[in-house]
């Protein structure tokens, strides 16, 4: 019977938000705390019917919280469900010593967390003890969503929940489905299977994220062959790749390589979006393009490089703050500096700096991405090899 008060104690804002969303939808009165001390204070102020407690917490860990609860006459009988990560060394003996009612291993499914809470509350109500066998293990397969479950399982605002937390959550829970992220006229769809990314599809994004740019960048196709392949084609990046493979222009491994680069750079671009909306639909029925690509990319590997890029973007954007900027080459400084100290990519960008090309045009002509171009322009600025063109001011 829902309506009981559940106190969730976890230092992850994402876990708190998602668990609160899931349990509230199931009809429970959910309260949250971000550390052990706050959790104990909330439990004393409003005695919960069950406590969902993370094992690893700042200030007081799960074991210390359980000890303090056991010494409080008003809270000693409140059942505790322990949450632990897959790597935490928690055995049945530790669980028994802590006196918890049950435990659940992260990542867990929405159905799993709802089931363990209702199971614990029902056991408590029937007076059948507080140490039933755990009903969910990390190696237990997550039940697939029913075919008719096409309503969003998770929605939100990027200003409230950063996308990185959403991606990490879907990976940790080994979810299947499609995450759609929208900002203005741009829409990006991230296809997951078992917590891995199979493909990212996008519309309304910059030309630099189109498949053709990655094919040209890797010298896998010539511009005339690409133009021929694009003639009369409809939407669908994978269809273009499939046609090129069937025509013998590229190989299957070539296509997998450029799709991986394209998917990765689209995720990195999404990490820069500080506003917009997202929704996740849980389903095993993924789009055919994603099923065909089946890239199976690990989220944490993509995010590691993505975090570095985002940090660099914050620094670069202080100087290169618009793709409409035009740069002028400092020929005197370049003569003193010498071309031997510059990389091939830096020389390529420097050749495109002519006082007329915008950053956007340099990106288009160089076949490199906006991050790489902006980073090179930032270095050239710092070396005083280029400067921003100053437009005349009308008087």
Q: What is the pLDDT of residues 158-188, one digit of tens each?
A: 888 888 889 989 998 899 999 999 998 899 9
In a domain, 308, yes or no: no
* DSSP run (H or E) holding 254: helix 252-271
Q: In what order do the strands lie in the sheet with 154-157?
A: 154-157, 277-282, 177-183, 186-193, 196-203
pLDDT for 236:
44
The pLDDT tens digits of the residues spanning 240-298 come to: 777 788 888 889 899 999 999 999 999 998 988 888 999 999 888 888 889 889 999 99
Can you give the residue range of the structural domain that contains 81? 5-126
* Mean pLDDT of the region 93-118: 72
pLDDT for 51:
93
Q: Which two tokens stand for residue 179?
A: 């995450």
CATH code of the domain containing 94: 3.40.50.2300
pLDDT for 380:
87
User: What is the rounded CA–CA span in Å between residue 164 and residue 30?
Assistant: 24
CB 190 within 8 A of CB 178: yes
Same domain, yes or no, for 186 and 279?
Answer: yes
Same domain, yes or no, for 187 and 75?
Answer: no
Q: Which two tokens stand for residue 127?
A: 């007076």
Q: How many CA atoms lie within 13 A of 360 on its CB side?
A: 7
Q: pTM of whole model > 0.75?
A: no
Same domain, yes or no, for 286 and 346?
Answer: no
Q: Which two tokens stand for residue 309?
A: 């890029």
- Smallest CA-to-CA distance from 35 within 15, 17, 14, 62 is with 62
* Mean pLDDT of the region 336-349: 81
Question: Which residue, chain included where needed, has tokens 């670069």?
Answer: 316
Between 172-176, 219-223, 230-234, the lowest mean confidence (pLDDT) is in: 230-234
Determine the angle formed by the axes of helices 252-271 and 163-172, rounding to 10 degrees. 130
Same domain, yes or no, for 383 and 255?
Answer: no
**Better-predicted residue by pLDDT, 95 or 68:** 68
Same domain, yes or no, for 158 and 292?
Answer: yes
In a domain, 304, yes or no: no
Q: Are strands 50-54 and 5-9 parallel, antiparallel or unpaired?
A: parallel
Q: How confident is the model at residue 99 (pLDDT cuts 50, 70, 90)?
A: low
User: What is the rounded CA–CA span in Å between residue 233 and residue 344?
Assistant: 34
pLDDT for 306:
80
Same domain, yes or no, for 250 and 294?
Answer: yes
Same domain, yes or no, for 88 and 27?
Answer: yes
Same domain, yes or no, for 167 and 236?
Answer: yes
Same domain, yes or no, for 25 and 116?
Answer: yes
In a domain, 137, yes or no: no
Last residue in a domain, options 76, 110, 126: 126
pLDDT for 196:
95
CATH code of the domain containing 343: 1.10.10
Which residue pairs from 85-91 have beta carbons closer than 8 angstroms and sit at least 24 positions apart in sequence?
A: 85/55, 85/56, 86/138, 88/55, 88/56, 90/55
pLDDT for 200:
93
* Mean pLDDT of the region 379-383: 85
Number of compact structural domains in the chain = 3
């Amino acid at each position: 019977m829902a309506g009981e008060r559940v106190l969730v104690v976890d230092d992850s804002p994402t876990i708190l938000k998602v668990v609160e969303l899931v349990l509230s939808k199931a009809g429970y009165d959910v309260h949250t705390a971000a550390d052990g001390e706050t959790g104990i204070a909330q439990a004393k102020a409003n005695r919960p019917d069950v406590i969902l407690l993370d094992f690893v917490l700042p200030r007081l860990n799960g074991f210390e919280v359980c000890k303090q609860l056991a010494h409080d006459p008003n809270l000693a009988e409140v059942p505790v469900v322990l949450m632990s990560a897959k790597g935490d060394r928690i055995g049945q003996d530790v669980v028994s010593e802590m006196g918890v009612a049950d435990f659940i291993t992260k990542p867990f499914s929405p159905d799993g967390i709802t089931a363990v809470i209702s199971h614990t509350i029902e056991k408590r109500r029937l007076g059948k003890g507080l140490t039933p066998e755990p009903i969910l293990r990390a190696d237990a397969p997550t039940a697939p969503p029913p075919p008719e479950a096409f309503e969003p399982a998770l929605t939100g605002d990027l200003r409230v929940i950063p996308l990185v937390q959403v991606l990490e959550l879907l990976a940790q829970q080994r979810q299947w489905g499609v995450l759609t992220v929208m900002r203005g006229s741009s829409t990006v769809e991230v296809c997951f299977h078992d917590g891995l990314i199979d493909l990212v599809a996008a519309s309304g994004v910059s030309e630099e994220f189109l498949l053709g740019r990655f094919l040209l960048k890797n010298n896998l196709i010539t511009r005339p062959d690409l133009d021929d392949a694009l003639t009369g084609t409809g939407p669908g990046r994978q269809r273009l790749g499939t046609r090129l493979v069937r025509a013998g222009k590229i190989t299957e491994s070539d296509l997998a390589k450029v799709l991986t680069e394209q998917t990765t750079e689209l995720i990195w671009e999404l990490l820069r979006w500080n506003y917009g909306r997202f929704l996740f639909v849980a389903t095993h029925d993924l789009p055919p393009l994603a099923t065909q690509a089946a890239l199976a990319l690990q989220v944490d590997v993509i995010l590691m490089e993505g975090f570095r890029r985002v940090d660099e973007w914050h620094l670069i954007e202080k100087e290169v703050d618009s793709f409409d900027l035009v740069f002028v080459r400092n020929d005197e400084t370049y003569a003193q500096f010498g071309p031997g100290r510059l990389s091939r990519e830096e020389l390529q960008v420097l050749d495109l700096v002519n006082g007329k090309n915008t950053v956007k045009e340099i990106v288009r002509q160089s076949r490199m991405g906006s991050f790489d171009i902006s980073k090179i322009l930032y270095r050239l600025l710092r070396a005083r090899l280029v400067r921003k063109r100053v437009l005349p001011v009308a008087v």
